[in-house]
Chains A and B, each alone.
Chain A
């Protein structure tokens, strides 16, 4: 017992000493920390904050945005020099856009603002995709004033973030994308018409409309063979014909004149008012030169609308300068006649003045071998090295998120006003009905009288792709993707009630009956089939009027109108002889007659036919009236052919009567199908659902829920884990009143308390073991004494019991001894470990 306490005391002393040393270390560290802290404070005070948004952005700006590198500074000096010379030589030309300020207010040369970046979106791999993306993604901030280039030119990354910019921002972004896609692209600064500068498309035809017209005008010329027969001689009077022609020509001419007059008037009406700033409006667009990516000839891309123009287009009125990521050129050509006869051979030093000397200034049209030769001639490599190279771009890599790509338009919506048309575009999934594009065309220029509304949908569960509403006649035309029930393809209707006129087209290959089209019109229904094994291609059904008396039983059968006449037509089945191959079957249901017409033989002009009269049912015998030969009349094309037998005719009539029943059944099911389709459509229109692909992680609700559940579970597990790791400092902090921030004093006290507590506990534990040990030995001793006293009187049994007890007790004592020894060994380690932990503890580390 004594030994144990002494040990503990020793231990405590040792620990205390240890503590002293460590505190000293901590003291030193603390001093350092103090100094560091004071430094931090200075840093923070350096920030000046303008408006909030910009500050936020600038905070994230990389260094290259805020500073200019040495090379950039050189470049800016060069540009300055260049500009001075320029203003000296051409004092009356407009100032050039060379080194505008970027979003951090630092001067940057325009070429270095271009940042070619390949983005992982396939649509951006060709120029159409890039141009459309830029025009869709950004919204325009017009230049102010419109006659001067802007003072600022933001980096493309900034523009992408803000989703708005001037035409210069548009061009810079587009040019960056095009350069990355491998095009030989240049930004061009110049002058353009008001419509172009302000993105006014109201005077242009909608491109979606123009495309349709193109499809129609395609025809093939008929080849005239050598032995084509001459047309039969025309026996009418040539003079009369001539006179008639003359008359018609005159009428035509008059009509044409009128038309022209009307056109002229219309044009006059539509012509825009003259622009006072015509020719002065500054604009920036993109030039794509031929050579790379199989571009056959130079063209402009107008970045605001995303359209391409030829380099001679009248909308572009002049060019000041052009640049790409390598060099900058000034146009030396006369722009009085716009761009009509301008050369874009940038290597021509008479027409284009380059800023940086070097191989980029050379004509890109030179043949490579010649270029090489020039290099060989040019032995002075030193001079080569002297040539100033354009420094790399200061802009970070462009980055467009998947979400932005999908949203595409600012806010997901874009409206473009065309001539007599309005185009609205929406991001997919933005609208609940899946609408992505709506094109409304109007009768008049002011866009008040709607003519046709065409809508395009995406991701609809009912497979609707297009809907066209013609105001004239109020006709709706819907187009569906493959995969609908009943394989519906087109549906043209006025209303969705079953009896109204409609026309449905189907994907005939997907249907078992090969139905391609079904037209319902008043009391008629026409069905067209394709590729049927029985060669049926046409069925025309004429219904009778509804029976007036409607009983309760008939309500269930409503819509099944009585048949009046059914015509079915068949293609030629070449395995049968023509005189046995049915071309047309007419079931005159109301007249109780059936007419069958056969196909014409190859060199015949008259088909064979058979007409049957259906035998009347004689009431009592329940049997069909016996067949008589005059029930069938036949016309045979070949007069020498044997007339068919009565048996054959009888069997045929029976077969036809059966067919008639079948046809009636089929017509009923057709009517039912129409009603089913209409019901389904109505239901779908009231409950529109969008299809979400299983790969669409952002929108797939189910998947998201699953993922969220997983995340939540993980979170819970983590919390549980945290709870397990109880905060060992908590009680001590509580003693100090849970202060928000610790002072050094407090931290030290905390640490000392904590360590003292541990020490106490370790000592307590050792004492506990000691206590138990003592108790155990005492008991054993008592037992031994008791044994020695009673040994003579004890039975064998008792003796055994005593011995067992002794060995047990000895074992326990031994264990306790071992435990105590181990505890003594490990206590200092534990103490040190805690100390270490305390030093590492995030709350205290700062102070120790």
Chain B
């Protein structure tokens, strides 16, 4: 026996092998004949069996993108590879091979049934993407760590698991451990997980499991929270008022400003800052609220447009569809009648004319409907554009009206006050009247008046720049959104129109063709 195996050459999946398998496993009987005449393309194959072929290396499978079931069992495969393009795979059998490591399965997200039975795998890993896994057979391998089974908790749909024949099965609490950590499991190692085992598992591992569950719940919660935050931020971004509800703007103003931080330690400055930040924050929050409410109104407007648009299109479609359906039923009936009574040539001619007229009539009717719809939609889109532009403009105006008043004025005011304090301090420094020691870096500023005022105005300029930038950002975002929105609207409308017209032409051409075909048959 050994000799026999040794004589067979290890092979690679190649064209010839595939062709043979496809023909063997393809349709049989009359269907097979037709298939042979036509030829089968790899892309159409949904099931493939490549077992007992002494395959060492998986290759050349990249064309089989619609494959759902692949059997590669009883070969001598050592490495899982070349399966990345088989994204539709549901059933994969790699049992009885020489695989040592699970890898190369990341792209198979639809996989439900995976068999790795009788290999040399020692660790369960790299299966994270298979979220719909239901059956996993990994018996007769080299798994030794019982804790590695906890990895399988992530598969919520896993119901059947085969671990028999692994070293870990010899561990004392093997069954109970698995029943405890995989509570949804129905079958383990060819057997039903019975109620008794479950109870025992619950009794033994209750605390461990609960802790685990708690941790998982915490993680899930954190994830949800994060998602929620991201969602709110997206909403704020859509409303163009992101980061205006909190202190972020002012924090960023002071974050990039080293001098301001130094100056903050001057006597009287903290209170000044307080009196500056509080109203500034308040005004920003107000702006934020306004932004959100305006966003809601805009959203509603857009929704209304979409609803009406959809209604109009559906209505029009229904009418057009009815016309076509009526025409089609008449056409089918008449074709039969025509074949029945074609005694007279003149009659045939008259019929052709009549049919051609009818087709033209249909074409015109459909085109009229489409044109009507185009007109109607154009009207409402124009209306919408006008309204939404007005709304956006109003919002921008509001921002421009409120923003400088609130922020810039406050900043200017703050600047003046700060300057005053600085000058006063300078004088005192000059007279050495200062009670407490100034930090060194601050003392550096107060060498003369110019340095101080320069530092302060520099800080003021940074602040102003930040404020201006935020304003510009907002306005550009609004304009960009508007432009994009209108663009997509028009584009969608255009493509819809083109599709419809091509559809109409396609149909009328088809009908004409059919008519001619019938006629030529008659002539013969």
Binding site for B on A (CB under 8 A): 225-230, 232, 595, 600, 603-607, 623-624, 626-627, 635, 637, 639, 645-647, 650-651, 654
Contact A626 B503, beta carbon cutoff 8 Å: no
Shortest distance in angstroms between B65's beta carbon and chain A's nearest beta carbon? 15
B313 neighbours in A (Cβ, 8 Å): 603
A626 neighbours in B (Cβ, 8 Å): 30, 33
* 21 A–B contacts from the bound complex (CB under 8 Å): A225-B308, A227-B304, A227-B308, A227-B309, A228-B308, A228-B380, A229-B312, A229-B376, A229-B380, A603-B317, A604-B503, A606-B503, A606-B504, A624-B30, A626-B30, A627-B34, A637-B506, A639-B502, A647-B31, A647-B35, A647-B40
Which of A229, A232, A600, A627 counts the most B-chain CB atoms under 10 A from its CB?
Answer: A229
> What is the bound-complex CA distance between A320 and B504, given in angstroms?
83
A624 neighbours in B (Cβ, 8 Å): 30
Contact A605 B38, beta carbon cutoff 8 Å: no
Shortest distance in angstroms between B336's beta carbon and chain A's nearest beta carbon? 8
Contact B30 A228, beta carbon cutoff 8 Å: no
Contact A647 B38, beta carbon cutoff 8 Å: yes
Contact A605 B500, beta carbon cutoff 8 Å: yes
B31 neighbours in A (Cβ, 8 Å): 647, 650-651, 654
> What is the bound-complex CA distance between A330 and B285, given in angstroms?
72
B324 neighbours in A (Cβ, 8 Å): 605-606
**Given contacts A225-B304, A600-B317, A646-B37, could you give 15 more A-B pairs where the C-beta distance is less than 8 Å?**
A226-B301, A228-B311, A228-B312, A229-B311, A229-B376, A230-B379, A232-B372, A595-B332, A605-B324, A637-B503, A639-B502, A645-B38, A647-B35, A650-B30, A651-B31
Shortest distance in angstroms between A225's beta carbon and chain B's nearest beta carbon? 5
The answer to the question of B366 belonging to the interface, with a C-beta cut-off of 8 Å to chain A, is: yes
> In residues 284-324 of chain B, which contact A (Cβ within 8 Å)?
301, 304-305, 307-309, 311-313, 317, 320-321, 324
> What is the bound-complex CA distance between A227 and B332, given in angstroms?
40
Contact A600 B321, beta carbon cutoff 8 Å: yes
B372 neighbours in A (Cβ, 8 Å): 232
Size class of the contact patch on chain B = 35 or more
Shortest distance in angstroms between A202's beta carbon and chain B's nearest beta carbon? 52
B312 neighbours in A (Cβ, 8 Å): 228-229
A647 neighbours in B (Cβ, 8 Å): 27, 31, 34-35, 38, 40
A646 neighbours in B (Cβ, 8 Å): 34, 37-38
> What is the bound-complex CA distance between A816 and B64, given in angstroms?
119
- Contact for B376 among A230, A645, A654, CB less than 8 A: A230
Contact B321 A606, beta carbon cutoff 8 Å: yes
B251 neighbours in A (Cβ, 8 Å): none
The answer to the question of B13 belonging to the interface, with a C-beta cut-off of 8 Å to chain A, is: no
Shortest distance in angstroms between A637's beta carbon and chain B's nearest beta carbon? 6
Contact A603 B321, beta carbon cutoff 8 Å: no
Which of A637, A639, A647 counts the most B-chain CB atoms under 10 A from its CB?
Answer: A647
- By beta carbon, the residue of chain A nearest B332 is A595
Shortest distance in angstroms between B340's beta carbon and chain A's nearest beta carbon? 12
Going nearest first, the 7 A-B pairs with the smallest beta carbon separation are A227-B308, A229-B376, A605-B320, A229-B312, A227-B380, A232-B372, A605-B321
Binary contact track B489-505/A, C-beta < 8 Å → 1, others 0: 00000001001101110
Shortest distance in angstroms between A11's beta carbon and chain B's nearest beta carbon? 84
Binary contact track B30-58/A, C-beta < 8 Å → 1, others 0: 11011101101000100000000000000
> What is the bound-complex CA distance between A228 and B37, given in angstroms?
55
Contact B35 A605, beta carbon cutoff 8 Å: no
> What is the bound-complex CA distance between A227 and B377, given in angstroms?
9
Shortest distance in angstroms between A598's beta carbon and chain B's nearest beta carbon? 13
- Contact for B496 among A595, A603, A650, CB less than 8 A: A603
B304 neighbours in A (Cβ, 8 Å): 225-227
The answer to the question of B403 belonging to the interface, with a C-beta cut-off of 8 Å to chain A, is: no
> What is the bound-complex CA distance between A604 and B35, given in angstroms?
32
The answer to the question of B481 belonging to the interface, with a C-beta cut-off of 8 Å to chain A, is: no
Binary contact track B442-453/A, C-beta < 8 Å → 1, others 0: 000000000000
Contact A229 B500, beta carbon cutoff 8 Å: no
> What is the bound-complex CA distance between A227 and B311, given in angstroms?
10
A605 and B30 in contact, given A228-B308, A229-B308 (Cβ under 8 angstroms): no
- By beta carbon, the residue of chain A nearest B495 is A603
Q: Is the interface of B mostly helix, strand, loop or mixed?
A: helix
- By beta carbon, the residue of chain B nearest A611 is B332
Shortest distance in angstroms between B382's beta carbon and chain A's nearest beta carbon? 11
- By beta carbon, the residue of chain A nearest B319 is A605
A623 neighbours in B (Cβ, 8 Å): 30
A225 and B307 in contact, given A604-B503, A647-B27 (Cβ under 8 angstroms): yes
A230 neighbours in B (Cβ, 8 Å): 376, 379
> What is the bound-complex CA distance between A226 and B312, given in angstroms?
13
Contact B317 A605, beta carbon cutoff 8 Å: yes
B311 neighbours in A (Cβ, 8 Å): 228-229
Shortest distance in angstroms between B109's beta carbon and chain A's nearest beta carbon? 18
- By beta carbon, the residue of chain B nearest A224 is B308
Contact B309 A635, beta carbon cutoff 8 Å: no
> What is the bound-complex CA distance between A226 and B380, given in angstroms?
9
Shortest distance in angstroms between A629's beta carbon and chain B's nearest beta carbon? 9
B317 neighbours in A (Cβ, 8 Å): 600, 603-605
> In residues 225-239 of chain B, which contact A (Cβ within 8 Å)?
none
Contact A605 B503, beta carbon cutoff 8 Å: yes
Contact B506 A226, beta carbon cutoff 8 Å: no
> What is the bound-complex CA distance between A57 and B510, given in angstroms?
97
The answer to the question of B507 belonging to the interface, with a C-beta cut-off of 8 Å to chain A, is: yes
B332 neighbours in A (Cβ, 8 Å): 595
Contact A603 B499, beta carbon cutoff 8 Å: yes
> In residues 475-520 of chain B, which contact A (Cβ within 8 Å)?
496, 499-500, 502-504, 506-507, 510
The answer to the question of B384 belonging to the interface, with a C-beta cut-off of 8 Å to chain A, is: yes
> What is the bound-complex CA distance between A637 and B506, given in angstroms?
8
The answer to the question of B420 belonging to the interface, with a C-beta cut-off of 8 Å to chain A, is: no
> What is the bound-complex CA distance between A574 and B112, given in angstroms?
23
A600 neighbours in B (Cβ, 8 Å): 317, 321
B379 neighbours in A (Cβ, 8 Å): 229-230
Binary contact track B393-413/A, C-beta < 8 Å → 1, others 0: 000000000000000000000
A603 and B500 in contact, given A626-B30, A635-B510, A645-B38 (Cβ under 8 angstroms): yes
Shortest distance in angstroms between B47's beta carbon and chain A's nearest beta carbon? 15
B383 neighbours in A (Cβ, 8 Å): 227
> What is the bound-complex CA distance between A647 and B46, given in angstroms?
14
> What is the bound-complex CA distance between A651 and B31, given in angstroms?
7
> What is the bound-complex CA distance between A580 and B496, given in angstroms?
22
A639 and B27 in contact, given A225-B304, A232-B372, A605-B366 (Cβ under 8 angstroms): no
B309 neighbours in A (Cβ, 8 Å): 227
A627 and B500 in contact, given A225-B307, A230-B379, A605-B366 (Cβ under 8 angstroms): no
> What is the bound-complex CA distance between A604 and B34, given in angstroms?
33
Shortest distance in angstroms between A576's beta carbon and chain B's nearest beta carbon? 15
B503 neighbours in A (Cβ, 8 Å): 604-606, 637
A227 and B305 in contact, given A605-B320, A605-B500 (Cβ under 8 angstroms): yes
A227 neighbours in B (Cβ, 8 Å): 304-305, 307-309, 380, 383-384
A603 neighbours in B (Cβ, 8 Å): 313, 317, 496, 499-500
> What is the bound-complex CA distance between A651 and B380, given in angstroms?
48
> What is the bound-complex CA distance between A654 and B30, given in angstroms?
11
> What is the bound-complex CA distance between A230 and B33, given in angstroms?
58
- By beta carbon, the residue of chain A nearest B372 is A232
- By beta carbon, the residue of chain A nearest B373 is A229
A229 neighbours in B (Cβ, 8 Å): 308, 311-312, 376-377, 379-380
- By beta carbon, the residue of chain A nearest B301 is A226
B30 neighbours in A (Cβ, 8 Å): 623-624, 626-627, 650
Which of A225, A604, A605 counts the most B-chain CB atoms under 10 A from its CB?
Answer: A605
- By beta carbon, the residue of chain B nearest A586 is B332
> In residues 124-147 of chain B, which contact A (Cβ within 8 Å)?
none
> What is the bound-complex CA distance between A755 and B379, given in angstroms?
126
> What is the bound-complex CA distance between A605 and B325, given in angstroms?
9
> What is the bound-complex CA distance between A339 and B206, given in angstroms?
80
> What is the bound-complex CA distance between A605 and B502, given in angstroms?
11
- By beta carbon, the residue of chain B nearest A645 is B38
Contact B507 A606, beta carbon cutoff 8 Å: yes
